Chains A and B, each alone.
Chain A
Amino acid sequence: MNILTAKTIDIAYNGKTVVHNLNIIFHKPEIVSIIGPNGSGKSTILKAVGRLLRPERGVVLLDGKNIHSLPAKEVARRMAILPQGPQVPDDITVRDLVSYGRSPHQNFWNRGDSNDKDIIDQAIRDTHLEELSFRSVHTLSGGERQRAWIAMALTQKPKIMLLDEPTTFLDIHHQIEIMELLGRLCKVLGLIVIIVIHDLNHAARYSSRIIAVKDGKVFKDGSPSDVITEEILSIVFNIKAKIISGHNDCGIICIPHGVCR
């Protein structure tokens, strides 16, 4: 079982409480998108359930155990988190970066063995980075770099993967490539993938559950067709949008056409 639960948590960021009394549960392999306007607290929520922030009140439970009482490495073996736009040193190669994902499985004395090597090779294949293994991450395109980070997260062998805006700053081809990669990983490896994302159409197309966040609270949590509605978008994002559904297997499409006044 891999269940991640946030129970009545308050999260403060820079001394200000930005999330109040939040309850969320993630319990099955699917892509969950967290959407919401800037400053709504969606990244903060991701960081709190990903153990990067300690809630002021309440607990985050991983299979019933507080993630802050579990050893950091044990959490890292079950849950990977990629922050937004992480930095890499100029000359680190793709393979170096991917191999760092094994560190929660190693200790001071154990430096990785052939098993680690196989896992690294597999992650590189899963993300189609074979030809780029020894290129420095610095020289990759945005999409390739994002794939390298995802490969690193994969070598942690997690059951839950959290990503903060994995497609921001990518062109449309690479955005879709990353979303399809995440969809494939979710299905093949049975991962719970939780992403913070801005693009509503990608959220609707690639996730089976969407959480709309407003002012540090979950405004609506449900399937894309439950959440991406004209009414909810007008309240959460303050925009006017037209929703088209059932179009060529694309699920629902949202066309924003103005802000509410």
Chain B
Amino acid sequence: MEKGVTSYKKDPRLIGRMLIGLAGIVLLVAGSVWSILTGSVDMAVSDIMECFSGKKEGAHYTIIWDIRLPRIITGALAGINLAIAGSILQCIMRNPLADPGIIGVTAGAGLAAVTVMILFPEHSSIVPLMAFVGAIGASLLVYGISWKGGANPLRLILAGVAVAAFFGSFITLLMVFHSDKVQGTINWLVGGFQGRSWGHVKMILPYTIIGTAVALGSFKYLNILMLGDDVAKGLGLRVESVRLCYIALSAFLAASAASVAGLLGFVGLIIPHVVRLLVGSDHKFLLPFSALLGAAIIIFADTGARTIFNPVEIPVGVIMACLGAPFFLYLLRGNLSRRH
């Protein structure tokens, strides 16, 4: 600890945080540009320039504007939603394993979507809507089950696990009895962005804007909740109502992500941890940086997913876990050895 009168005037972590924020923005921009440029048809930077400068014709314009751009934006928005939802849930559940699955979102969206895809394949256009409804419904169920004069984090988690297992058994049942129709559901269940259009962007964008604004604006409530319920109550926070609001917020963020991206794991669980290791657990920084990194990582992984084994597209979740998990372990090891 450095000595001196000024040593307590300035937060020494500030510069590091600014640099990491800057790195996140660079990563996001670089990922988007790379993603526009590569694919089954390669582009040049000049094509992007043309496309954005108002030339609205040609195959390149169509590929960039109607295929790649909406796919990138959908991915980025889903990444933002999942990363923020994960950060919030890990805080309010006081559990490092919390992710949007813990409040039933994943299981609910999965069951609703698989039901439509297998039993009513002619209505496949309502899959996103049904996934959203299923996700919200399941999280309401989880919250309802765990309510007992208040919903404490442990009861929420246990209720979430039970509901997920219950819904999961129905998904399995459907898939066993309709094994001929399973192929189409697999891609949705592992998540991905193949063929995403501006329609999907429109579907998720309002949730991202409102959800992100509310989450980033209310970071100090999350900081106070980290101190435990009693301290938070002592500071005048209405703990139960605030926690319910955050669960609802995370449910909407994660449900809208599931409706456009399918059941994408990893981002909601790992990104908040990576960011916490980089910038600490102050939500003033954790939330925006998680959003940034969540968006960037999905863009990179999705671009890799469609280009590495071109023309075969591999699930984006596979790429994220393959590359992200070792990186996460590397950060974790470094952090552990520093602390102990």
Q: With A and B bound together, what is the CA distance between A76 and B236 in angstroms?
A: 5
Q: With A and B bound together, what is the CA distance between A82 and B282 in angstroms?
A: 21
- A90-B281, A96-B282, A100-B224 are known contacts. Are A76 and B11 too (CB-CB below 8 A)? no
B129: chain A residues at CB < 8 Å are none
B236: chain A residues at CB < 8 Å are 71-77, 103-104
B220: chain A residues at CB < 8 Å are 100, 103, 106, 111
Q: With A and B bound together, what is the CA distance between A132 and B13 in angstroms?
A: 14
Q: In the complex the two chains form, is B226's CB within 8 Å of A89's CB? A: yes
Name the interface residues of A18-74: CB closer than 8 Å to any CB of B.
Answer: 47, 50-52, 71-74
Is B280 an interface position by the 8 A CB rule?
yes
Stretch at the interface among B38-46, B180-188, B227-235, B258-266: B227-235
Q: With A and B bound together, what is the CA distance between A82 and B231 in angstroms?
A: 7
Q: In the complex the two chains form, is B234's CB within 8 Å of A82's CB? A: yes
Stretch at the interface among B1-9, B106-114, B309-317: B1-9
Interface string of B198-219 (1 = CB under 8 A from A): 0000000000000000000110
Interface string of A85-99 (1 = CB under 8 A from B): 011111111011100
Interface string of A122-136 (1 = CB under 8 A from B): 001000001111110
- A86-B230, A87-B227 are known contacts. Are A93 and B11 too (CB-CB below 8 A)? yes
Is B152 an interface position by the 8 A CB rule?
no
Q: Which listed residue, A73, A101, A108, A134, touches B11 by the CB 8 Å rule?
A: A134
- Number of A residues, CB within 8 Å of B: 41
Minimum CB–CB distance for B91 against chain A, Å: 9
Q: In the complex the two chains form, is B8's CB within 8 Å of A100's CB? A: no
Is B237 an interface position by the 8 A CB rule?
yes
Is B223 an interface position by the 8 A CB rule?
yes
A73: chain B residues at CB < 8 Å are 236
Is B326 an interface position by the 8 A CB rule?
no
Q: In the complex the two chains form, is B12's CB within 8 Å of A134's CB? A: yes
Minimum CB–CB distance for A7 against chain B, Å: 21
Minimum CB–CB distance for B213 against chain A, Å: 12
Q: Closest residue to B220 on the A side, CB-wise?
A: A103
Q: Closest residue to A138 on the B side, CB-wise?
A: B339
Is B333 an interface position by the 8 A CB rule?
no
Is A80 an interface position by the 8 A CB rule?
yes
- A131-B1, A135-B1 are known contacts. Are A50 and B234 too (CB-CB below 8 A)? yes
B237: chain A residues at CB < 8 Å are 72, 103
Q: In the complex the two chains form, is B234's CB within 8 Å of A52's CB? A: yes
A111: chain B residues at CB < 8 Å are 220
A51: chain B residues at CB < 8 Å are 233-234
Q: With A and B bound together, what is the CA distance between A52 and B239 in angstroms?
A: 11
Q: With A and B bound together, what is the CA distance between A185 and B45 in angstroms?
A: 66
Q: With A and B bound together, what is the CA distance between A51 and B236 in angstroms?
A: 10
Residue among B7, B234, B282 with max Cβ neighbours from chain A (10 Å): B234
Q: Closest residue to A80 on the B side, CB-wise?
A: B234
Q: In the complex the two chains form, is B238's CB within 8 Å of A72's CB? A: yes
Q: In the complex the two chains form, is B228's CB within 8 Å of A131's CB? A: no
A106: chain B residues at CB < 8 Å are 220
Q: With A and B bound together, what is the CA distance between A103 and B227 in angstroms?
A: 13
Is A183 an interface position by the 8 A CB rule?
no
Q: With A and B bound together, what is the CA distance between A135 and B280 in angstroms?
A: 13
- A108-B217, A124-B8 are known contacts. Are A83 and B234 too (CB-CB below 8 A)? yes
Q: In the complex the two chains form, is B281's CB within 8 Å of A92's CB? A: yes
Is A9 an interface position by the 8 A CB rule?
no
Q: In the complex the two chains form, is B230's CB within 8 Å of A52's CB? A: yes
Q: With A and B bound together, what is the CA distance between A132 and B234 in angstroms?
A: 24
- A108-B218, A135-B1 are known contacts. Are A87 and B234 too (CB-CB below 8 A)? no
Q: Which listed residue, A90, A101, A103, A133, touches B8 by the CB 8 Å rule?
A: A133
- A76-B236, A131-B3 are known contacts. Are A89 and B230 too (CB-CB below 8 A)? no
Q: In the complex the two chains form, is A86's CB within 8 Å of B231's CB? A: yes
A207: chain B residues at CB < 8 Å are none
Minimum CB–CB distance for B80 against chain A, Å: 21
Is A81 an interface position by the 8 A CB rule?
yes
Is A167 an interface position by the 8 A CB rule?
no
Minimum CB–CB distance for A259 against chain B, Å: 33
Minimum CB–CB distance for A5 against chain B, Å: 19
Interface string of B1-27 (1 = CB under 8 A from A): 101000110011100000000000000
- A72-B236, A103-B224 are known contacts. Are A83 and B231 too (CB-CB below 8 A)? yes
Q: In the complex the two chains form, is B235's CB within 8 Å of A76's CB? A: yes
Known: A90-B281, A103-B236. 9 other contacts (CB 8 A): A51-B233, A52-B233, A74-B236, A75-B236, A86-B228, A88-B226, A100-B235, A101-B235, A104-B236
- Nearest 5 A/B pairs, CB to CB: A76-B236, A133-B8, A73-B236, A104-B236, A83-B230
> Can you list 16 contacts pairing A with B, beta carbon distance less than 8 Å?
A51-B233, A72-B236, A74-B236, A75-B236, A82-B231, A82-B234, A92-B223, A95-B11, A96-B223, A100-B224, A103-B235, A103-B237, A131-B3, A131-B7, A133-B8, A134-B11
**Interface residues in chain B, defined as those with a beta carbon under 8 Å from any beta carbon in chain A:** 1, 3, 7-8, 11-13, 217-218, 220, 223-224, 226-228, 230-231, 233-238, 280-282, 339
**Interface residues in chain A, defined as those with a beta carbon under 8 Å from any beta carbon in chain B:** 47, 50-52, 71-77, 80-83, 86-93, 95-97, 100-101, 103-104, 106, 108, 111, 124, 130-135, 156
